[in-house]
Structure 1
Amino acid sequence: MKIAIATDTNSGITKEMIREPGIYFLPMPVIVDGQMYAEGIDISSQQLYEAMKQHKEISSSQPSPGQLMDLWDGILQDGYDQIVYIPMSSGLSGSCATALQLAADYDGKVQVVDNHRISVTQLESVFSAYRLAQQGYSVEEIKGYLEAHAYDASIYITVDSLEYLKKGGRITPAVAAFAAVLNLKPVMTIQGDKLDAYAKARGMRQARVKMIEAVRKDRATRFGEVPDELLQVGAAGTFEEEAQAQSWLREVQEAFAPMPVFYAPLPCSIACHVGMNAAGIGIMKKE
């Protein structure tokens, strides 16, 4: 069987990252002042940040059933026999449940993985699935592997501005105002299905330190028996300037050498909720 791997842009994947045929992705919808755009097609991260600077109304959405089926149909028409589809965590969006319902009409040709991941950890799942397919694993075996190891990952993220967490209802206006006065930055964590509070920090510098400390703790405890070569650390962010992204990447690389560290920009669909200049870090087990 010829197997393709597909995902959505919540993973942070871009066409520049795809070096081999057989990996596809679905752009996530982003809404700016009531107008819907497709991420990476008719809106870029920088264009979204410009809209944020102008304080426009911004939100994210999930793809329509028609868009998802068009993606799958196009892949099958490209000559692939089966598809492993890896959407963002079912605990963070309804898009996984929609995909599972639609896949029932594809007679087993589409296997939807509820991987309980997003951003850099979801991205690693995509490449793990691709490597497994290249080694001859079936779509059922790939799905089983990814779901069995779904929680072998952690994400930590901090935001520079509380504006979008406030708009999303995750914090109250009173808490946002209090935090702004004291320059408090929340550090949040995603362990599978939920975004939870982890710590508070005075300023972005201290927040970054707390995130690195959290991943070090996970490395020593949750992943204590896993050799370095089977672990992957990912840095991410919604930085306005490339220099900021490179600075954060270097900081994470220095903290976790000799483990490999990669950088992936947080997608527009996540930027809608965390705003500009957010920083994130994830650690995950590879296949």
Structure 2
Amino acid sequence: MRRTIAIVTDSTSYLPPATVARHRITVVPLTVVLDGQPFEDGSEDATRRLTEALQRRLPVTTSRPSPAVFAAAYRRAAEAGAGGVVSLHLSSEISGTHDAAVLAARDAPVPVRVVDSGMVAMALGFCVLAAAQAAAADGSLDDAVAEAVKRAESTRAYFYVDTLEHLRRGGRIGTARALLGSALAVKPLLELADGRIELREKVRTASRAIARLEELAANQAGSGPVDVAVHHLAAEERARQLAERLSSRLPGLAELHVSEVGAVLGAHTGPGLLGAVVSPR
């Protein structure tokens, strides 16, 4: 009997819990520290407390999982019968999570392939699902990695934020770009490019920025089969409306996910975040 391939990711993939359970994906949580108190990313309590902390301008930091946490996950996978592990994580340009996984993989009891997706949120999540589907079809480690990388290459993620201040504080975007994005009270549109969060466009008002976000997502999706995720932080109604509009515009829409991001990503974007992830199949 062929041994299975286990899939490991981190909490910034923001995969729906039912999807995680169905594909037996192991999710290793990052940590957000709110005014000195640590919380696991992905919990509703962490996200709620994050919004409160940002509004009160309390100290907020994030931290990667330790190599020991990844080592334990790989060991459990081996004990459960896995013959290998594909471990997929958010961009190494914005987190040390990938590096921690690489350190743990060196001494794992089974082969572990660590993949830097260059992505975050469901842009990472869709890559994880591609690897899981390849593994479920009796694919090898190489097959699962190849499918994840292929998905990452075609996936695009666009984000609207009310301000770049939170990204600047966390060091995820340079001071010069943050000042440029804040000039004349414009609203910034961001994208993931080469694993980094980059300022794509500046738009005069929030409504125009969100309309432009929709346009970018629709153009990227085209007419072929595509999966889409709409993310938000404390902007549920905005997210619902964007999802409805995209659903009506995309003839090839296969799956549509709408979710609030966790505390780790939210700590760097702030309330009001609205994101669109487009992942052609």
Q: TM-score, normalised by structure 2?
A: 0.87
> Do the aligned partners of residues 175 and 118 (structure 1) sit closer, same or farther apart at CA in structure 2, a change above 3 Å counting?
closer
**Within the alignment, does 1:264 sit opposite 2:267 as a pair?**
no
Alpha-carbon deviation of 1:137?
0.3
Distance 1:275 1:179 in 2: 15
Equivalent residues of 1:120, 1:264 under 8 A apart:
no
Alpha-carbon deviation of 1:234?
1.6
Distance 2:187 2:176 in 1: 15
Q: TM-score, normalised by structure 1?
A: 0.86
2:93 maps to what in 1?
91
How many residues align? The count is 277
Bigger shift: residues 87-96 or 13-22: 13-22
**Within the alignment, does 1:249 sit opposite 2:251 as a pair?**
no
1:136 maps to what in 2?
138
1:64 maps to what in 2?
66
Q: Percent identity?
A: 22
Partner amino acid for 1:72? Y
1:114 maps to what in 2?
116
**Within the alignment, does 1:228 sit opposite 2:231 as a pair?**
no
Structure 1 SS opposite 2:152: coil
> Do the aligned partners of residues 95 and 177 (structure 1) sit closer, same or farther apart at CA in structure 2, a change above 3 Å counting?
closer
Report matched runs for 1:142-157 at 5 Å: 142-157=144-159
Distance 1:155 1:144 in 2: 20
2:280 maps to what in 1?
285
Partner amino acid for 1:272? A
> Do the aligned partners of residues 218 and 185 (structure 1) sit closer, same or farther apart at CA in structure 2, a change above 3 Å counting?
same
Partner residue of 1:123 out of 118, 122, 125: 125
Deviation per CA, 1:215-250, whole angstroms, max 9, x where unpaired?
333345xxxxxx622x2122111125x434322322
Distance 1:120 1:40 in 2: 13
Report matched runs for 1:182-261 at 5 Å: 182-219=184-221, 228-229=224-225, 231-240=226-235, 242-260=236-254, 261=256
Equivalent residues of 2:78, 2:110 under 8 A apart:
no
Partner amino acid for 1:58? V
Deviation per CA, 1:134-187, whole angstroms, max 9, x where unpaired?
11101122113322443211111011234313423536499659938x542100
